[in-house]
Structure 1
Amino acid sequence: MEYTIEKLLAEKQWKQLNLLEGKESCKRKIEGIRIIEVPEMARYLTGGELLLTSLYVYRDCSAEEFYQYLIAFEEKHISGILLKEREQISEKEKKIKLLKTYCESKKIPLIEMPKKISFWEMISFVMNRIFTKDVARLRYFKLTQDNFNTLSFGRDITSSKTQDILELLSDMVDNPVTLYYSNLNCYVTSGGDHSRLELREDLEEYIPSVITKFSYMRQRKKGTGEIQYVIKISVMEEVEAYLVVTEKNRKLSAMDCMAIENAIITLQYGFVTEFVQNEIEKKYHRDIVHNVLSGMLGKEEMEEAANLLEIHSEEYYRVVTFYTFQKERGDMYTSEQLRETGIIEGEIMTLCPGQHVYRNIDQIVMIQRVDEKQKREVYLNKMEEMCAVLQNAIRYRHKTEKIQVGIGKMVKGIYNLKDSYYEAKRAISYRDIAKVISGNENQTVTLYSDLGFFKLLGDIDDLNTLMDYIPESLQRLYSYNKPQRKDLILTLQTYLDNNQSLNKTAQALFIHYKTATYRIDKIGKMTGMDFKNPNEMLNVRIGLILYKMLEKAR
């Protein structure tokens, strides 16, 4: 049964459509439906199509040129034109008047379409009326593919280009669409919500009613209860992202899933292109950075490298190294773990824009521009926060790697970066010592300069020789073979940590003041420690740390 313009206008869903011209031709059969994508659209038509336009494609042509494009439609016997007005069209009123004149003279139905109605909603509706289910899906898939291809070919995937793809997809599915990094931070969104993606406990597998190459998940958005469809995008096992469509305005249909498929393919194409370009550029920069940090360049070569890397002689830098550790890894990284390191590299580049970041097999190195006036505590807190973000992203991917960060000294310009790099690598190798010194087993960031005297201990092969550096008085306490020994050692450590204040020691240990006094007196009598001698107390402090190192090693 034929589907005509008259039947379309009679649909309750489209009662807001307004017939402007061609009332006598409303029985024309609709053979297809297309958006006018280029001025020379007539050459791409097969005949009998219902055309949709906002005249935006004709925005730069003159009124005379516009009319010539209209005349070209005569041979195609189009069934009608749906017009949705849009701003920023040169000579808009004149062009609309010409369109009306053309449709009146050729007896072509011209229908005014409200701005709030999506072209793609109309396309999906009409296709389902004029074609069988399978043909409608095939035609819709091809049409959405063509539109995404128009955005894709010949142009790189940048944030603005990705924005265009997401805006088009959002228009097609009539719902907000967002692309997230693998660490769940927002990259680009069509809906204005730039908050992080929260993967909830109710996240479940979803199988769409179309053939798909991608893995769909579904959950309810926190706060609103709206259904979110989460689709993981992976390119060359290096680039990972999440495309999320939120059912804010209407439920997704099978045709919407087809549009999503084409959008993802377009994004993947762009990501592959960008990935290859970035890999070439990264390899070139990696070689330069490696030579700089290894001290292999002469003065002229260093100056050339500084220009290429934009490392300025009056600015300050640190070299930061990132390593991933896994208990079951052994001495060799698997290919999967190396891929995970590559993903982490990308996340660091996202978190630290403008810094030089490159991967060297199992380590990631960053030349970081820093503010020499920034307080050490503030800087380290920011680095710890960044590590927490990276660790959370690793956990979301169900991986078990643990991030550790080593930081070298602050240097000015490019010439001393090799020294900062040396310290950053040493800081990683001393990470266990740093944890003992800080008393924090969860410490992820080690600043080499914080190791102080203990840097000398890193090269000792036989840790038992550390006993030579522990005061005899402290050795007597550790040799005390009675149940109270553990409490006495803890009390001594807390007493020294609180500047030998008995009140603060008692509060920290949740014991009575008299108990703290008794324990310190007992330690003094048993070991002969002179708590008034600052040199001896310094040696005792060092000895306590050395004992912890020995216990950890054993």
Structure 2
Amino acid sequence: MKISDALNIGELATGTVIAGRKGITREIQSIEVMEVPEVGSWVTSGILMMTTFYSVKDDYQKQYEILKALIEKNASGLVVKLGRFVKQLPKEMIELAEAHSFPIISLPVNVSYINVLTPLYEKLYEEKKKVTQELLNPFHSFIEEEYATVSEAIESLSNILESQVYIENCEGRLLYCTEKFSSDGWRKSNLLLSKPAHSRYKELIAEWCIELKHGSLDRVKFSDQKHRLIVPLISKNNVFAFIHLPYKKQSQFSEIEPRNVNGLIRKLSETVMSEQLELQKERIKDIETLESLSHSDFVNDNASYTLLFFTRKDLEPSFLPPATLMDGNVLIRKKIKESVENLPFEKNIVFEKNSHFFSLVQYSLNNNQNGLAQLKEVFQSAMLDSSIEDMHISISAPFQDLKDLDEKIKSATKIMEMGLKFRPNEKIYAYDKLGIYEILINMSTDTYAVKYAEEVLKPLANNDGQLLETLIEFLDTNGNVTRTAEKLFIHRRTMTYRLQKIKELINMELDDPENLFILRFCLKMKELS
């Protein structure tokens, strides 16, 4: 309680600050009545002293020394009744109090001490009780701190709990997780927006949404046998997420009460919503920058662009409406931004189109040759042990005119399609590796090319596809008969017989480079059809 607070409580409100007004923010730790001439031995810091100066009513020097002792002991203030025994305080005392911003409060003569002290004691007791309860709250230190990011906040909670911490939305999708994570009885994955593994997670989350709407907590224990608190995050009386708080210290957290987590709910809810707001602002800024660049007639001859396409093939779409308080897409944008933030790009614009993520990076032509290599290297390392490690990325060819952006979006999308189809175990697909498939895709819509490929391979369609399989393996081993036979688990003589049969059916020599090119082309066309 501060002096300024006390001046509004009970009959102390009738008092007047006659000196040291600048010090009314001083904290009151205790209140005592003093009617003895010596105070130096028992005065403590933060004490609010009340007196009539009766014992020293005729000794102005003693009054001055008492005030000086109070100031030296860092007392909070002095309340004095003027008019009964002491008419007024010496000028020297007023000046001393002013010099040290030490409040002196004058009370009317007719005010009794009991009417001043009782409400002040009650207020002090309430505040000390509250402080004691807060100090016993294991989350007290967390509530008192300020956090720049949600990740910083949950790492702090993790240190308190000595356990991993994570936040999920009302669908159960993972929004945030501490750096240290291991599968538990609720979830197996720390991938961003992944779902829990618990068989009844939908049912349990629905129950929590109802039970914890007004800010409480639930104690649960899953198959991992570790106790945990489920605490809601709330904005405008709506639950928008849940934080899982597994704990090891049974004695410290088993008896925790709902009031102990109210401050945690407020702190973390505000931190999450504040970060959401900032990320939404960044999204809008990127959209505006992209539109400005796309509609500008100015062409920077020294600038080169590359388009990156990001997708997560195994991620199921959310059933929550787009207007939901927690937008998981901005968290994906954040991760994408972070993955390339250390590269020497002049611009990195992340945008969304057709429910997919793209990043337009700009760099000078001088860095053009190194750009692709840097991108590959950064993404290879960024994807490891990451909450988006299941992300696949396709990289377009460099270009200079942003009027080609729509074409590059189509190109990056097709590179992704081919990468996922032909190299599903890889994560990064670049134009210089998969670009040839674009040509084949375009040709796969050419009626003549498709018919030509069908006619060449048609004779091999019989025999349950055995000859066609043999041809594919033969071409994959660059015409090595022995290796092909080994891969097919057949005798070399059988292999030789099959190759002879193939030559007769398609009327082509299999040692002619041009024929081999034609056959590879036809097989790729068949694969794409």
TM bin, normalised by shorter chain, reads 0.5 to 0.7
From 70, 74, 80, the equivalent of 2:45 is 70
From 156, 175, 182, the equivalent of 2:161 is 175
User: Mean Cα displacement is larger for which, 535-544 or 371-380?
Assistant: 371-380
Partner of 1:158: 148
Q: Is the 8 A contact 2:164 2:181 kept in 1?
A: no
Partner of 2:359: 366
Partner of 1:42: 27
Q: Is 1:470 matched up with 2:453?
A: yes
SS at match of 2:270: helix
Distance 2:503 2:265 in 1: 72
Partner of 1:286: 287
Partner of 1:115: none
From 490, 493, 500, the equivalent of 1:521 is 500
Partner of 1:345: 333
SS at match of 2:296: coil
Partner of 2:308: 320
Q: Is 1:530 matched up with 2:509?
A: yes
Q: Is the 8 A contact 1:319 1:366 kept in 2?
A: yes
SS at match of 1:345: helix
Q: Which amino acid aligns with 1:423?
A: K
Q: What's the CA shift for 1:231? A: 5.2
Q: Is 1:455 matched up with 2:412?
A: no
Q: Is the 8 A contact 1:434 1:451 kept in 2?
A: yes
Q: Is the 8 A contact 1:406 1:446 kept in 2?
A: yes
User: Mean Cα displacement is larger for which, 441-450 or 505-514?
Assistant: 441-450
Q: Which amino acid aligns with 2:463?
A: K
Q: Normalization by structure 1: what TM-score?
A: 0.54
Q: Which amino acid aligns with 1:497?
A: D
Distance 1:251 1:322 in 2: 44
Q: Deviations over 1:263-322 (max 9, x none)?
A: 232121122223223322331232112443x3x22338x69xxxxxxxxx68x7632123
SS at match of 2:468: helix
Q: Is 1:298 matched up with 2:283?
A: no
Q: Which amino acid aligns with 2:357?
A: I
Q: Is the 8 A contact 2:305 2:362 kept in 1?
A: yes
Partner of 2:104: none
Q: What's the CA shift for 1:443? A: 6.2
Q: Which amino acid aligns with 2:360?
A: I
Distance 2:500 2:374 in 1: 36
Q: What's the CA shift for 1:409? A: 1.8
SS at match of 1:70: coil
Counterparts in 2 of 1:384 and 1:148: CA distance versus 1, 3 Å? closer
SS at match of 1:476: helix
5+ residue gaps, structure 1, are 1-38, 49-66, 76-97, 103-129, 189-193, 304-312, 394-402
SS at match of 1:282: helix
Counterparts in 2 of 1:247 and 1:390: CA distance versus 1, 3 Å? closer
Distance 2:247 2:316 in 1: 39
Counterparts in 2 of 1:233 and 1:543: CA distance versus 1, 3 Å? farther
Partner of 2:472: 493
Q: Which amino acid aligns with 1:510?
A: F
Distance 1:531 1:335 in 2: 58
Partner of 2:463: 482
Distance 1:441 1:166 in 2: 35
SS at match of 1:499: coil
Q: Is the 8 A contact 1:406 1:426 kept in 2?
A: no
Counterparts in 2 of 1:181 and 1:472: CA distance versus 1, 3 Å? same
Q: Is the 8 A contact 2:232 2:239 kept in 1?
A: no
SS at match of 2:518: helix
Counterparts in 2 of 1:492 and 1:255: CA distance versus 1, 3 Å? same
Distance 1:184 1:253 in 2: 25
Q: Which amino acid aligns with 1:344?
A: I
Counterparts in 2 of 1:280 and 1:528: CA distance versus 1, 3 Å? same
Q: What's the CA shift for 1:444? A: 6.2
Q: Which amino acid aligns with 1:70?
A: S
Distance 2:216 2:503 in 1: 73
Counterparts in 2 of 1:382 and 1:495: CA distance versus 1, 3 Å? farther
1:55-66 matches, within 5 Å, as none
Partner of 1:86: none
Partner of 1:386: 383
Distance 1:335 1:363 in 2: 15
Distance 1:464 1:387 in 2: 44
Q: Is the 8 A contact 2:30 2:46 kept in 1?
A: no
Distance 1:548 1:137 in 2: 72
Distance 2:525 2:291 in 1: 36
Q: Is 1:502 matched up with 2:478?
A: no
Counterparts in 2 of 1:270 and 1:162: CA distance versus 1, 3 Å? same
Report sequence identity in percent: 15
